Amino acid sequence: MSATTIVVEVIVPEEDDRMNLRDSAWSLALDQRTFGPRRLLVAFADSKGRYLGMAHAPRTDPFDIALSGCLAHVPPGAVAAVAFNDEPVPRGRPSSDLPVRFAEAWAMCADAGIHLVDWFACDDMDFRSTRLALDLDPGAPWWDLP
């Protein structure tokens, strides 16, 4: 395997086992370590938030390699995604590169026809919503499909 080859695992729910990502994203942020340490998880949903599947891969630096791998497995009908990256969550203010990283991830998802609703940084103790940390669109609903 080359240095840029990663293994992406895909989870597809049974028809009667579908959660709503609008309501469950916070729970997924708390449970993301279930998939193992240092992973990027991308959960996909339809426009109403109905969970359609998830792709997860080892976290990469830069993140775009893992995100590209996950975006190669968008389930049919998906128009939105929420990403959960196992990365350090600093106390206090978010890192100065967070707006740039979110914009890059948002653009990559848009190129795949997916609206990136949020990017959660998650570690053993904490998680942080990028949209809320940066206050990207004050007053707009969190589930902000165009």
Amino acid occupying residue 133: A
pTM of the model: 0.92
Q: Would you write out the chain's pLDDT as a tens digit for each of its 146 residues? A: 456 688 999 998 887 667 899 999 988 888 888 888 899 999 999 999 999 999 999 999 999 999 999 999 999 999 999 999 998 888 888 888 889 999 999 999 999 999 999 999 998 888 999 999 988 788 888 898 87
Strands 9-11 vs 115-122: parallel, antiparallel or unpaired: unpaired
Distances (CA, A) of 128 to 48, 55, 68, 75, 133: 23, 20, 22, 26, 7
Residue 53 has phi, psi (to 5 degrees) of: 155, 175
Amino acid occupying residue 117: V
Q: Which CATH class is domain 9-134?
A: alpha beta
